[in-house]
A and B are shown apart, each in its own frame.
Chain A
């Protein structure tokens, strides 16, 4: 019989460095045709995470042991090159956050630093390191050639303290963001998962003000907004693992992608509010997108929506090429 850990927390304190097994590069697992996906690629270089966000899907997914980090960077990069060289015209966005936090373990592994150096050598790929940590000091001096976007998953301070256990406080994330901004990195902002809580409008307003007190819009590669969503079977797990959390008591419905999320009017209210706050700080050049949302929600929030998932991919590539010269040429829009 396989060894089964009893508790998802068991593997969080034990770090193992492992070799690459099987394919590590894929597309984001949340891909579903009724919802618009940003078409990002994911490099599965981290499995599990030392943090304990009450909404994290890992508590339902990884229950088989330690936190694992692939230390075989040359093997990872071999696979990345193999894929991106097949289509040199395309600009690939590649994130390492699918099964964990890109920087939480950086002080022990140095994995992100190695990846930044490797991606600096590529012409048609951008690495996205997404984090809820403030572990950035060791990457500040690296020559990144704009080929790495350091992104933060951001939330209202109240949500961070109540539901993102062990992560860096908002204040620390903002300080780290400032350091990264000053080191000349591109920055990604992910307001995701937005969570309804008491006085949420003010919470998100303060968050946006804090962020834009340290970064300028011209260094922001992209901004995403998304709302709380999880597999239905996660509800009981969350309630069991985090009895004090009220996350699951909200008004939520099951979507066509088999995930529960807030009812649409509530999601729209949150996106409208956040987007109107962002508009005070950003320009038309900043790509803002919704993570795993329906086309009609895009239309209600932005007044428009991409024609397809590949059109959205094109819009990203065009923005990154025009603003930072990323990619080998201005991308060409593909007709669907």
Chain B
């Protein structure tokens, strides 16, 4: 290992084989604080680079220093040069160690750093035993294939997952949805109030609906009820609820109409507010729960009269018939 003064223009930064720019996501890129420290002290430490077989220099550590050097049109920069023979696993370990705060800040970043190691052809056994176990993931080949699928998610989704600190389960879920669908959904980010679980629910229902009806996303977007929601002046929270309700109706048309019929039956007999009727909205269990909540004993006899009424008995029969 040597420290040399190298030409800034000869150093590969974005094109470095060790560039993390496509892997590690940052929450709020804010270079200002770093820049001001450069202004005060200049560049204090050498950057770290790798010299490959063709003598090309790949930046390993020091993106911001390089950025500053270019900004002030500095011709040369001090660089610690790792020779060609440096094991790739050592370089990855060094990089992960340097970036441990960013990497540790989200599951997606941990997965992305595993994918970074895969992209550099690091030995699979090392990735499993060192990286997977180090990040508390399962050290399985199948898990690595899952990481690659997550890495292939659209960039906007990955950024969203980083910002929202999305769980591994939800990340895996997202990999099962078509890219186009995900891209459309994430483009609704400014109009709807999306959390990772709401995004997952919307994607799941919409994906099922589109597949069942042989439709594409544009077909869905041109449906009048959908346009009505997006053209409305509702706020993001209300719009989100409307979209979720609409998709539930589309995903569960039979259930929705059966439940609506039951709700209408219940509404028709106008029960006192002390009596509540519950049924299994999945329609699976053929049973009804009747809750009575009472705060004034005077009302008890009136409630008993309602409970004994033929009207309520008929209602029970009709609901049970639906279930």
Contacts and interface: CB of A to CB of B under 8 A. Distances in A.
Contacts, number: 52
A254 interface: yes
Contacts of B226: none
Contacts of A4: 140-142
A266 B141 CA distance: 40
A236 B141 contact: no
A250 B212 contact: yes
B212 A6 contact: no
Interface residues of A, number: 21
A296 interface: yes
Interface in A235-290: 236, 239-240, 246, 248-251, 253-256, 263-266
Interface of A is mostly: mixed
Interface in B126-152: 139-142, 145
Interface residues of B, number: 25
B285 A256 contact: yes
A251 B212 CA distance: 9
Contact of B284 (A249, A255, A266): A255
Contacts of B252: 251, 263
A265 B256 CA distance: 12
A1 B285 contact: no
A128 to B, nearest CB: 29
Contact of A256 (B141, B173, B254, B284): B284
B101 interface: no
Contacts of A239: 176
Given A6-B141, A6-B142, A240-B176, A251 B254 contact: yes
Given A4-B141, A251-B254, A263-B254, 5 more contacts: A236-B176, A246-B211, A249-B211, A253-B255, A296-B286
26 contacts: A1-B139, A6-B142, A6-B145, A236-B172, A236-B173, A240-B176, A246-B211, A246-B212, A248-B208, A251-B254, A251-B255, A253-B255, A253-B282, A253-B283, A254-B282, A263-B282, A263-B283, A264-B283, A264-B284, A264-B323, A265-B254, A265-B258, A265-B283, A294-B284, A294-B286, A296-B286
Q: Which 7 A-B pairs have the closest CB atoms?
A: A249-B211, A249-B212, A253-B282, A249-B208, A296-B286, A236-B176, A264-B283
Interface of B: 139-142, 145, 172-173, 176, 207-209, 211-212, 251-255, 258, 282-286, 323
